[in-house]
């Protein structure tokens, strides 16, 4: 049976991703000075104004406005010809400390209070998180989101390197993969929408994107005469970034994870310190799922963790290998329980999450990338 599946990615200049990057830059700045910082930072951007809010408790002294301006500049929004100028845009900072009602549950877990554990930290919120891996790509990610991220990254690379010097920071990519019996066989459709200068013709843009982006990224054996290419299908994308559309932290959670190929618990990542299990437990779930596949126990694996606020241990662990497992799922679950401490403190210590590593996770997916601790392959 043949079927189609589509995933999306966006460039770092997309207004939502700009906000994610500002929030993670703030988080890293606090962690650089105080590894015990509690940070929940949200950013909104639109039409020359950036609004930063949230709850931060820390001993660090951080100039949040300066951090935000530097982040906007790094993404590529500078000068009067751009949609938002890092130097002149209005930045409003409205940050308070973490609620003591939340802090008391994080500082000491329910298990600690009841004498079941010593100095254990509780989860910073209730929630459910999913991790996923499959053997479709070398990085054990689904092919549609893997290619979408690589194309988005290439759009940014050709802009910053001057290879295509007339495109802007804002852009989006969609990749549709055709599957036969759960195996990817070809690319059916590629959609690219990228901001550009007004004086550039659509024909030139289409040629350059196809030759200098798509053909440089997508394996030629996956393309055929029937593959469809939609490049700036509206015909014009001059107004972009926060001027064209408002941005908000945490609005690209499917882009950040598995492109919709796996389920999602609903929690966002950017701007959150690792006591928030929305982030840390999702990273751990990916680590566990990836190593189930990497160790040959299954070809596809989805893991779910669920937590209660103020409680250290997960309230449930779920595993589904979709019939691809080489050993019983009960044995895989036993291996997981014996190998990993899935409390917030256990995850934070195991993955070394109290470091300023988060800005490099913001763009092009939090999973399937080299150099991140949750992507390490171990013996399970």
> Tokens 């490049």 map to which residue?
231
Query: What is the model's pLDDT at position 116?
Result: 61
Candidate from 84-88, 108-112, 223-227, 324-328 with smallest mean pLDDT:
108-112
Query: What is the model's pLDDT at position 355?
Result: 95
Handedness of CA 104, 105, 109, 114 (dihedral sign): positive
Measured at the alpha carbon of residue 306, what is the angle toward residues 300 and 307, in degrees to the nearest 5?
Answer: 150
Strand ranges across the sheet with 316-320: 127-134, 300-307, 316-320
Token pair for 187: 């690319």
- Reduced to 3 states (helix: H, G, I; strand: E, B; else coil), residue 285 is helix
Asked if pLDDT for residue 100 goes beyond 80, the answer is no
Asked if pLDDT for residue 112 goes beyond 60, the answer is no
Query: What is the model's pLDDT at position 113?
Result: 54
91 Cβ contact list (under 8 Å, min separation 6): 49, 50, 51, 52, 65, 68, 69
Token pair for 74: 């790094």
**Threshold 0.85, pTM exceeds:** yes
In this prediction, residue 124 has a pLDDT band, given cuts at 50, 70 and 90, of: confident
Query: What is the model's pLDDT at position 122?
Result: 75
Strand ranges across the sheet with 2-10: 2-10, 167-180, 183-196, 228-231
Write down the mean pLDDT value for the chain: 92
Candidate from 74-78, 152-156, 298-302, 311-315 with smallest mean pLDDT:
74-78
C-alpha dist (Å) from residue 43 to 49, 121, 132, 302, 360 = 10, 27, 28, 31, 17
Query: What is the model's pLDDT at position 114?
Result: 55
* Greater model confidence, 310 or 352: 352
In this prediction, residue 110 has a pLDDT band, given cuts at 50, 70 and 90, of: low
Q: State the CB neighbour count (10 A cutoff) for residue 87.
A: 11
Closest CA to 51 of 62, 43, 59, 41: 43
DSSP states along 10-57: E-TTSHHHHHHHHHHHHHHHHHHH-TT-EEEEEEEEETTEEEEEEEEE
Tell me the average pLDDT across 232-248: 90
């Amino acid at each position: 049976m043949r079927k189609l599946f589509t995933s999306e990615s966006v460039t770092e200049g997309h207004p939502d991703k700009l906000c994610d990057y500002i929030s993670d830059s703030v988080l890293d700045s606090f962690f650089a000075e105080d590894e015990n910082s509690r940070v929940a930072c949200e950013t909104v951007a639109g039409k020359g104004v950036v609004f930063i809010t949230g709850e931060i408790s820390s001993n660090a002294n951080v100039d949040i406005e300066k951090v935000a301006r530097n982040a906007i500049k790094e993404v590529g929004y500078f000068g009067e010809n751009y949609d938002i100028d890092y130097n002149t845009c209005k930045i409003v900072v409205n940050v308070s400390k973490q609620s003591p009602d939340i802090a008391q549950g994080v500082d000491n877990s329910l298990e600690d209070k009841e004498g079941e554990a010593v100095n254990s930290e509780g989860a910073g919120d209730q929630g459910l998180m999913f991790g996923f891996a499959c053997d479709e790509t070398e990085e054990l990610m689904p092919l549609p989101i893997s290619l979408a991220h690589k194309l988005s990254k290439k759009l940014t690379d050709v802009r910053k390197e001057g290879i295509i010097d007339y495109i802007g920071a804002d852009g989006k990519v969609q990749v549709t993969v055709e599957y036969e019996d759960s195996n990817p066989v070809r690319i059916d459709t590629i959609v690219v929408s990228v901001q550009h200068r007004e004086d550039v013709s659509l024909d030139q843009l289409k040629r350059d994107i196809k030759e200098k982006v798509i053909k440089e990224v997508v394996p030629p054996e996956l393309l055929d005469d029937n593959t469809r290419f939609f490049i700036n299908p509206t015909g014009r994308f001059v107004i972009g970034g926060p001027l064209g559309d408002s941005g908000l932290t945490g609005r690209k959670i499917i882009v950040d994870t598995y492109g919709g190929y796996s389920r999602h618990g609903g929690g966002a990542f950017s701007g959150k310190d690792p006591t928030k299990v929305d982030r840390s437990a999702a990273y751990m779930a990916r680590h566990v799922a990836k190593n189930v596949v990497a160790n040959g126990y299954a070809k596809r694996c989805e893991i779910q963790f669920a937590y209660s606020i103020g409680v250290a241990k997960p309230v449930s662990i779920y595993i589904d290998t979709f019939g691809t497992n080489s050993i019983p799922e009960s044995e895989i679950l036993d291996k997981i329980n014996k190998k990993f401490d899935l409390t917030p403190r256990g995850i934070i210590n195991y993955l070394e999450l109290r470091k300023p590593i988060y800005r490099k996770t913001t763009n092009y997916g939090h999973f399937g990338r080299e150099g991140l601790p949750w992507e390490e392959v171990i013996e399970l």
